[in-house]
Amino acid sequence: MVELRSAKPYDWPDIEDLFAMSKQAAGLGIKSIKSIKGAIIAEESGAFVGAVIIELLGEVGILSAVAVHLDWQGHGVATALVSRAVAQAAMSGIGRIFAAADDGEGFLLAAGFELERDDLVPLAVRSRMGSRVTRIMSLDCKSDVA
């Protein structure tokens, strides 16, 4: 059975390995992720099978990266990870999470994200995502956690 937990500092080498091997890794990548507190991992019998990272920027967050081991894709691991990360972010006071629609728009739609109007994307989010991101989606955390 897959178990989810918050990442610990000693998990980072395994998280980096998971993202490196996963062809389905989506998001902004894992640059400087060691300082991001919103990481959750999925484990099966002590082995890493997935990870999600939400970068916290004041009252909003960015879904920075999601990866699931190839053997575990299609088993709901990414959905469980994102759901847990959204709930955890909401409990931390995050009201909205943004994600790059360029990476996995179908998955994001299924997870409840909606395409965001450009003029409603906070400058801090736009700056962090950079010019390579052409479409941004968002999810209202407060209404998602009931």
Separation between Cα atoms, residue 146 and residue 121, nearest integer Å: 24
> What class does CATH assign to 3-144?
alpha beta
**Is 103 within 8 Å of 63 (Cβ atoms)?**
no
Cross-strand partners of 38: 54
Q: Torsion over CA of 70, 75, 79 and 80, rounded to 10 degrees?
A: -110
Residue ranges of domains in the chain: 3-144
Cα-to-chain-centroid distance, residue 28 = 9
pLDDT exceeds 50 at position 106: yes
pTM comes to 0.86
What average pLDDT does the structure give for the chain?
Answer: 83
pLDDT band at 131 (very low <50, low <70, confident <90, very high): confident
Write down the pLDDT at residue 137.
92
Q: Which residue reads 């610990």 in tokens?
A: 8
Q: Which amino acid is at 21?
A: M
Tens digit of pLDDT for each residue in 40-87?
999 999 889 999 988 888 889 998 888 898 899 899 999 999 999 999
pLDDT of residue 133: 83
